[in-house]
């Protein structure tokens, strides 16, 4: 079915086609018609299915079709999502699809100053995308007026439940006008979610798309046995393989994540971190640098990495083995999302064996153990301490241009003298331009990248352009 068949406002269809989408995804084809009819909808779909456009497009259609009563200005659509990263991601989508409309969009989330958010709310911004906590704060301070609200969306309701946000969501929904359209999206339909929908939605239509392929079946996985003290060396060793060109590393703790990032940065591997001790602007900048390809490794904790949408992650490394099997499946689901390429590598210490066995029972299959011949932890000595947090962007470039460093194209890679000695022979080394062609990963986008004209300017340089010599941006991903 072509997009034009959905009957969306032509300016919205135009923006969608400009985004490079040719036809609606299954969740869009199923959800958009009832949402356009004004019905409440429960969408059972996971991130990666195109669910954001499934609710954003019909909302834009509705807002574009008519103004608020008596020409008043105010919040007409509210989207509530569990994490700040998801809020920003949804905002990017809304701006992309609304680029030909005169509709204002604002985000409301914690960790950044309240001032601009209060100003946007006071100005009567039509679409507000919020995390529950900050929205409640601003409601308490009298900045939020729901009197013109027509549509509410609760995105990733199951995660909101997991993260303990349901009391906050109840308070928010309780403050909304009774006459409204409500849409709820969730990756699964549990008893709790059903109870919530009974409470918050009226005669909802349930639309569901088949579960995406279980990543435990589609992602190549293996475990490596390693003593605790050799884990950092092992990670450095693995990163000598240039096919590992966009790597998400999971650490159990924030402190551990910083330690890993310090070590990698000190060896010239462009690394960023994503965890809750970092300021919101730092987190956004880290995610942006990873998405653009400016940094090769992102070290994250589970909570911070939830719901992030980055296409083309080549490898997930479980630096710390996850105690919960569900976390393992979430983590490895980050790789090979668009196509089943990419590997998940888990470091396993003797203490992790019982968790590993529990995981293998959970996913109903064994995970191959891999021995790394030729790995000598002694080769990876600690470099001089580097404060990666404080370094300006582009500093990796400068390091690489220092005497004795490889010159090609500015792509940082582990390159201390000892490591170079252990580097495999030069097959697959970067040519001019610095970026190796990773096995089978798409290098050019069949779709144009989202335009930046409607992109928000995040304070703290989050939307600064990538430095010269950085890799081409990763595409926004669609798949599964
Ligand atoms: P979501 O599940 O909303 O996180 O969307 C996942 C990705 O799919 C995003 O990068 C979207 O830009 C992309 N996407 C959404 N709808 C379509 C479509 N109809 N065709 C191609 N890509 C899409």
Q: What is the CA(28)–ligand 1 centre distance, in A?
A: 10
Question: Which token pair is 17?
Answer: 């086609």
Answer whether 156 contacts ligand 1 (Cβ < 6 A).
no
Mean pLDDT: which of 340-354, 423-437, 441-455 is highest? 340-354
> Please, what is the end-to-end C-alpha distance for the chain in angstroms?
19
Quick check: do 3-208 and 219-390 share a fold?
A: yes
Would you say residue 382 has pLDDT above 80? no
Of 119-123, 133-137, 332-336, 427-431, the one with minimum mean pLDDT is: 427-431
How confident is residue 70, by pLDDT bands cut at 50, 70 and 90?
A: confident
Average pLDDT of the chain to the nearest whole number: 78
Across 71-75, average pLDDT: 88
212 vs 271, which has greater pLDDT?
271
Atom 15 in ligand 1: residue holding the nearest Cα: 50
Give the rounded distance of the alpha carbon of 82 from its chain centre: 12
pLDDT for 212 = 53
Residues 289, 473: Cα–Cα separation, whole Å: 9
Would you say residue 419 has pLDDT above 50? no
Would you say residue 468 has pLDDT above 80? no
Residues 357, 189: Cα–Cα separation, whole Å: 28
Of 64-73, 289-298, 344-353, 441-450, the one with minimum mean pLDDT is: 441-450
Across 436-441, average pLDDT: 34
Question: pLDDT tens-digit profile of 248-305?
Answer: 999 999 999 999 999 999 999 999 999 888 888 888 899 889 988 999 999 998 877 7
Q: Which atom of ligand 1 is nearest to the CA of 311?
A: 10
Would you say residue 21 has pLDDT above 60? yes
Answer whether 51 contacts ligand 1 (Cβ < 6 A).
yes
Q: Which atom of ligand 1 is nearest to the CA of 19?
A: 12
Answer whether 343 contacts ligand 1 (Cβ < 6 A).
no
Q: Which atom of ligand 1 is nearest to the CA of 48?
A: 2
pLDDT for 330 = 78
Of 141-150, 330-339, 342-351, the one with minimum mean pLDDT is: 330-339
Q: Where are the domains of the chain?
A: 3-208, 219-390
pLDDT for 211 = 56
Would you say residue 446 has pLDDT above 90? no
Atom 8 in ligand 1: residue holding the nearest Cα: 478
Query: Which of 478, 479, 480 most suits a substitution to test ligand 1, by most atoms within 8 Å of the C-beta?
Result: 478
pLDDT for 192 = 85
Answer whether 479 contacts ligand 1 (Cβ < 6 A).
no
pLDDT for 49 = 80
34 phi/psi in degrees, rounded to 5: -65, -30
pLDDT for 480 = 25
Answer whether 53 contacts ligand 1 (Cβ < 6 A).
yes
pLDDT for 147 = 96
pLDDT for 202 = 96
Atom 16 in ligand 1: residue holding the nearest Cα: 50
Of 212-216, 241-245, 457-461, the one with minimum mean pLDDT is: 457-461
Atom 6 in ligand 1: residue holding the nearest Cα: 48
Q: Which atom of ligand 1 is nearest to the CA of 479?
A: 8
pTM of the model: 0.59
45 vs 78, which has greater pLDDT?
78
Residues 232, 237: Cα–Cα separation, whole Å: 9
pLDDT for 451 = 26
Query: Which of 32, 53, 82 most suits a substitution to test ligand 1, by most atoms within 8 Å of the C-beta?
Result: 53
Query: Which of 12, 50, 90 most suits a substitution to test ligand 1, by most atoms within 8 Å of the C-beta?
Result: 50
Query: Which of 15, 29, 52, 186 most suits a substitution to test ligand 1, by most atoms within 8 Å of the C-beta?
Result: 52
pLDDT for 243 = 85
Query: Which of 6, 25, 129, 186 most suits a substitution to test ligand 1, by most atoms within 8 Å of the C-beta?
Result: 25
Residues 216, 205: Cα–Cα separation, whole Å: 31
Atom 12 in ligand 1: residue holding the nearest Cα: 476
* C-alpha distances in Å from residue 180, one per residue of 9, 160, 183: 21, 21, 10
Q: What is the CA(20)–ligand 1 centre distance, in A?
A: 10
Would you say residue 90 has pLDDT above 50? yes
Q: Which atom of ligand 1 is nearest to the CA of 309?
A: 4
Of 254-268, 384-398, 446-460, the one with minimum mean pLDDT is: 446-460
Answer whether 477 contacts ligand 1 (Cβ < 6 A).
yes
The CATH architecture assigned to 219-390 reads: 3-Layer(aba) Sandwich (3.40)
CATH fourth-level superfamily of 3-208: P-loop containing nucleotide triphosphate hydrolases (3.40.50.300)
pLDDT for 336 = 54
Answer whether 476 contacts ligand 1 (Cβ < 6 A).
yes
Residues 469, 68: Cα–Cα separation, whole Å: 48
Would you say residue 450 has pLDDT above 70? no
Would you say residue 2 has pLDDT above 70? yes
Atom 7 in ligand 1: residue holding the nearest Cα: 478
Question: pLDDT tens-digit profile of 106-138?
Answer: 999 998 999 999 999 999 999 999 999 999 999
Answer whether 345 contacts ligand 1 (Cβ < 6 A).
no
Residues 265, 259: Cα–Cα separation, whole Å: 10
Q: What is the CA(18)–ligand 1 centre distance, in A?
A: 13
Q: What is the CA(344)–ligand 1 centre distance, in A?
A: 24
Would you say residue 436 has pLDDT above 60? no
Give the rounded distance of the alpha carbon of 99 from its chain centre: 22
């Amino acid at each position: 079915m072509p997009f034009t068949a959905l009957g969306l406002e032509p300016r919205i269809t135009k923006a969608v086609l400009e985004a490079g989408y040719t036809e609606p995804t299954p969740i869009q084809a199923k959800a958009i018609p009832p949402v356009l009819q004004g019905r409440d909808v429960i969408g059972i779909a996971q991130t990666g299915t195109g669910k954001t456009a499934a609710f954003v497009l019909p909302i834009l259609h509705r807002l574009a079709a008519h103004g608020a009563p008596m020409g008043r200005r105010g919040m007409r659509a509210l989207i509530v999502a569990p994490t700040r990263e998801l809020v920003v991601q949804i905002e990017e989508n809304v701006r992309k699809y609304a680029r030909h409309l005169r509709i204002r969009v604002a985000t409301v989330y914690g960790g950044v100053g309240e001032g601009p958010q209060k100003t946007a709310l006071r100005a009567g911004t039509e679409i507000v995308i919020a995390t529950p906590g900050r929205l409640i704060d601003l409601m308490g301070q009298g900045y939020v007026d729901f009197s013109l609200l027509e549509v509410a969306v609760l995105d990733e309701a199951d995660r909101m439940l997991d993260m303990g946000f349901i009391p906050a969501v109840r308070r928010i929904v309780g403050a909304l006008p009774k006459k409204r359209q409500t849409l709820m999206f969730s990756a699964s339909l549990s008893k709790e979610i059903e109870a919530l929908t009974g409470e918050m939605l009226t005669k909802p239509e349930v639309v569901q798309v088949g579960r995406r392929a279980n990543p435990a079946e589609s992602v190549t996985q293996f475990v490596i046995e390693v003593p605790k003290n050799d884990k950092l060396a092992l990670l450095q060793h693995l990163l000598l393989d240039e096919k590992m060109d966009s790597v998400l590393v999971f650490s159990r703790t924030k402190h551990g994540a910083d330690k890993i990032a310090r070590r990698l940065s000190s060896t010239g591997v462009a690394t960023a971190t994503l965890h809750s001790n970092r300021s919101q602007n730092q987190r956004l900048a880290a995610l942006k640098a990873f998405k653009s390809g400016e940094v090769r490794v992102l070290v994250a904790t589970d909570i911070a990495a939830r719901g992030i949408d980055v296409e083309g992650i080549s490898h997930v490394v479980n630096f710390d083995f996850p105690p919960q099997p569900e976390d393992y499946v979430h983590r490895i689901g980050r790789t090979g999302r668009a196509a089943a390429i990419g590997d998940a590598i888990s470091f396993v210490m003797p203490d992790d064996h019982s968790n590993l066995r529990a995981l293998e029972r959970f996913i109903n299959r064994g995970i191959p153990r891999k021995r790394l011949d030729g790995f000598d932890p002694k080769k990876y000595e600690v470099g001089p301490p580097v404060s990666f947090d404080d370094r300006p962007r582009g500093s990796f470039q400068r390091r690489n241009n220092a005497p004795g460093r490889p010159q090609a194209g500015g792509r940082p890679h582990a390159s201390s003298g000892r490591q170079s000695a252990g580097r495999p022979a030069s097959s697959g080394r970067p040519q001019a331009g610095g970026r190796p062609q990773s096995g089978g990963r798409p290098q050019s986008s069949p779709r144009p990248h989202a335009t930046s004209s409607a992109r928000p300017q995040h304070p703290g340089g989050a939307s600064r352009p990538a430095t010269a010599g950085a890799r081409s941006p990763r595409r926004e991903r669609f798949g599964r």
